[in-house]
Structure 1
Amino acid sequence: MSSHAGAPAGTLLVIAKAPVAGRVKTRLTPHFTPQQAADMARAALQDTLDAVLATPAGRRVLCLDGAPGPWLPEGIEVVPQCAGGLDARLAAAFALYGGPALLIGMDTPQVTPELLAEGLDFTRTEAWFGPAPDGGFWALGLAEPDPALLLGVPMSVPHTGRVQRLRLTSSGRAVRDLPALRDVDTPDDAAQVAACAPGTRFAALHAELCTAAR
Structure 2
Amino acid sequence: MTAPGAPVALLVIAKAPVPGRVKTRLTPPYSPGEAARIAEAALADTLDAVLAAPARRRVLVLDGEPGRWLPPGIEVVPQCAGGLDARLAAAFALDAGPALLVGMDTPQLSPALLAPALGGWGPGEAWFGPAADGGFWALGLTAPDPSLLLGVPMSVPETGAVQRRRLLDAGLAVHELAPLRDVDTAADVAEVAALAPDGRFARAVAACRGGAATAAGRQGAAR
**For residues 131-181 of structure 1, what are the alpha-carbon distances to aligned partners after superposition, in whole Å with 9 as ceiling and x for unaligned?**
011100000011222121000000000000000000001100000110101
2:207 is equivalent to residue 208 of structure 1:
yes
Tell me which residue corresponds to 1:91: 89
Secondary structure of the equivalent of 1:21? coil
The answer to whether the 8 A contact 1:7-1:56 is kept is no
The residue aligned with 1:195 is: 194
Indicate the SS of the match to 1:130.
strand
Q: Is the 8 A contact 1:52 1:60 kept in 2?
A: yes
In the alignment, what sits opposite 1:109? Answer: 107
Asked if structure 1 preserves the Cα contact closer than 8 Å seen for 2:128 and 2:138, the reply is yes
Give the direction of change, closer, same or farther, for the CA distance of 1:197–1:5 in structure 2 (3 Å limit).
closer
Length-normalised TM-score, structure 2: 0.91
> What residue identity is the alignment partner of 1:132?
A
Quote the residue 1:38 is aligned against: 36
Equivalences for residues 157-168 of structure 1 within 5 A: 157-168=156-167
Alignment partners' CA distance in 2, 1:142 and 1:5: 20
Q: 1:128: which partner in 2?
A: 127
Q: Which residue of 2 aligns with 1:78?
A: 76
> Counterpart amino acid of 2:102?
I
* Distance in 2 (alpha carbons) for counterparts of 1:206 and 1:135: 24
| C-alpha contact (below 8 Å) 2:121/2:142 kept by paired residues | no
Correspondence for 2:58: 60
Residues 1:48 and 2:42 are matched in the alignment: no
8 Å Cα contact 1:128/1:139 also seen in 2:
yes
Mapped to 2, the partners of 1:5 and 1:186 lie a distance apart of 36
Q: Is the 8 A contact 2:117 2:177 kept in 1?
A: yes
- Structure 1 residues 122 and 202: alpha-carbon distance in aligned structure 2, compared to 1, 3 A threshold: same
SS for the counterpart of 2:208 is: helix
Q: Deviations over 1:40-77 (max 9, x none)?
A: 00000000000000001010000000000011000000
Aligned counterparts of 1:131 and 1:140: Cα–Cα separation in 2:
9
8 Å CA contact retained: 1:100, 1:120: no
Flag the 1:35–1:5 CA change in 2: closer, same or farther, 3 A: closer
Q: What is residue 169 of structure 1 aligned with on the other side?
A: 168
Whichever residue aligns with residue 158 of structure 1, its letter is P
C-alpha contact (below 8 Å) 1:126/1:144 kept by paired residues = no
Q: Which runs of 5+ in 1 are unaligned?
A: none
Runs of at least 4 residues off by over 6 Å: none
Corresponding residue number in structure 2 for 1:153: 152
Count of matched residue pairs: 212
**Separation in 2 of the partners of 1:87 and 1:149?**
9
Is the 1:18–1:66 Cα contact (8 Å) retained in structure 2? yes
In 1, the alpha carbon distance for the partners of 2:52 and 2:172 equals: 28
| Deviation of the 1:114 alpha carbon | 1.6
What's the secondary structure of 1:140's corresponding residue?
A: strand
The TM-score, its normalising length taken from structure 1, stands at: 0.95
Show the counterpart of 2:219: none
* Kept in 1: contact 2:41–2:201 (CA 8 A): yes
Q: CA deviation at 1:5?
A: 5.6
